[in-house]
Structure 1
Amino acid sequence: MTDPNQPTDRHRLRLVFAKKKQVKYISHLDLALAWERSLRRAQIPLAYSQGFNPRPKMQFASGLPLGTTGSAEILDIIVTGDITAEEAFSRIVPALPVGIGLVSVEEVPLKSPTLQNLLAQAEYRVTVETDLSAEELARRIEALLVAEQIIETRTRKKRQEQFDLRPWLHELRLESAADGDACLFMRVTAGQHGNLRPEAVLSVL
């Protein structure tokens, strides 16, 4: 049943944002609350769910691991009225806290698939301390990429289980190595079909 008090003119805005080093240790829940407060400060006309505890209609593509920064995180919001993407951008930028930066805002069809359904892969750049040379790192990366299986052993409920990470690892390369630090780029499966975390890749490298 339609609520007569709910605005009928709704559309979906897709926000791309950066989660910077100042907020890399806040949880995904705290990040969502920070966004909710910021959107209220910016006077963005959010649509709300129905029921006893109405919540703003917001949806993230995924949550970053704690301690991780992101340069292209995605958030969909449902808004009411005739606010444009350009106007939303100009309102939101000054309302955001330090450590969260808005990259872009665009309007997408209201009935678009959910972000969780659209998300299939994620890209990471990981900097690690290592005593290995660039040549040895490159050799190990090549060995992983040509392997038919990459088995990781995990302990769950006092039982050891084995997982094959290879189908979820799509790209891995060494971008730089100097002074005991190495920067790796990886593209991995993410979303409703599974999530391969960077630390799992590092554990088998």
Structure 2
Amino acid sequence: MAARPGYRVAVPRTQPEQQAPPVQRLRVRYAKRGRLRFTSHRDFSRAFERAIFRARLPMAYSSGFNPHPRISYAGAAPTGSASEAEYLEIGLAQVLDPAEVHRMLDESLPDGLDVLEVVESPGGSLADLLQASRWRITLPGAGDLNGLVEAFLAAETVTVERMTKKGLREFDARAAVLSLEAQTSGDVTVLDVVIEHVVPAVRPDDVLTALASVGEFPTGIVPLLTRVAQGPLERATGTVRDPLTPAS
């Protein structure tokens, strides 16, 4: 039947092809080092997808009108922070040796974005395992900060402010800090801090802001923030366990 003038004929939209579910899921630990610590999460995700394409991995894809490779990112470090403990999970359409995937991905990523480990996923949520992080904060020329650390740990609450996507937010930085130690060697002071993942998230730079609020913190110092571990929290010991290693 011809359409009447001024009217459009509705054409049913073709349903997209349904993609097969992944036959293998792999969990990947990677590092952000050197200048690549300034890579944003969006920039990294683009670089990783390009690496997958160059490595010719048989990725599984999502269904829908705009299929995407099945990649799940979890617990990304803030831009500007180095990290030895970033994680993601990929779904493959073909079973491969994790060691071979490790080699292929690492060869396809730029230096500074380095794949450290690839293992079979046991199932469940990777994000749920990332309950806390251990950070190393390097402060050249900061001097002895043990007095500040003691004052911070003795406080019940230490409120800080940070600009977020929802505007300026105020939150307690003390509640998320499970342990904090300072060591000075020569003219370099290193803070070792374990931070529980809470909402809103407390970042290592928030801890520095909190220290400055409880005492005299040296100015003009550019900190180097490095996440050295991220995973399940062992509350009895205050340690952060490797999420890729099964609990004993």
Establish whether TM, by shorter chain, passes 0.5: yes
1:48 aligned partner: 61
2:193 paired with 1:186? yes
For structure 1, which runs of at least 5 residues remain unmatched after alignment?
none
SS in 2 for 1:24: helix
1:123 aligned partner: 134
Cα distance in 2 for partners of 1:94, 1:160 equals: 41
Cα distance in 2 for partners of 1:22, 1:164 equals: 31
User: Where in structure 2 are the equivalents of 1:121-200 lying within 5 Å?
Assistant: 121-131=132-142, 133-134=143-144, 137-153=145-161, 162-179=170-187, 181-190=188-197, 193-200=199-206
Question: Do 2:22 and 2:91's aligned partners in 1 also have CA atoms closer than 8 Å?
Answer: no
Question: Do 2:60 and 2:70's aligned partners in 1 also have CA atoms closer than 8 Å?
Answer: yes
Q: TM-score, normalised by structure 1?
A: 0.84
Amino acid at match of 2:110: P
1:34 aligned partner: 47
Residues 195, 156 of structure 1: CA spacing in aligned structure 2 closer, same or farther, 3 A cutoff? closer
| 1:107-158 C-alpha deviation (Å, 9 max, x unpaired) | 013x411x32222111211112445x32xx112112211221112245789x
Cα distance in 2 for partners of 1:156, 1:76 equals: 27
SS in 2 for 1:53: coil
Amino acid at match of 1:120: Q
Cα distance in 2 for partners of 1:146, 1:50 equals: 53
Q: What is the deviation of 1:15? A: 0.5
SS in 1 for 2:88: strand
- How many residues are paired up? 195
For structure 2, which runs of at least 5 residues remain unmatched after alignment?
1-15, 212-248
Amino acid at match of 2:186: A
Q: What is the deviation of 1:91? A: 1.8
Question: Do 2:171 and 2:200's aligned partners in 1 also have CA atoms closer than 8 Å?
Answer: no
Cα distance in 2 for partners of 1:172, 1:39 equals: 39
2:109 paired with 1:96? yes
Question: Do 1:152 and 1:163's aligned partners in 2 also have CA atoms closer than 8 Å?
Answer: yes
1:65 aligned partner: 78
Cα distance in 1 for partners of 2:180, 2:47 equals: 33
Cα distance in 2 for partners of 1:53, 1:185 equals: 44
Cα distance in 2 for partners of 1:47, 1:188 equals: 35
Cα distance in 2 for partners of 1:70, 1:29 equals: 16
User: Where in structure 2 are the equivalents of 1:98-117 lying within 5 Å?
Assistant: 98-109=111-122, 111-113=123-125, 115-117=126-128
RMSD between superposed Cα atoms in Å: 2.4
Q: TM-score, normalised by structure 2?
A: 0.71
Identity over aligned pairs, percent: 31
Deviating above 3 A after TM superposition, structure 1's stretches of 4 or more consecutive aligned residues are 153-157, 159-162
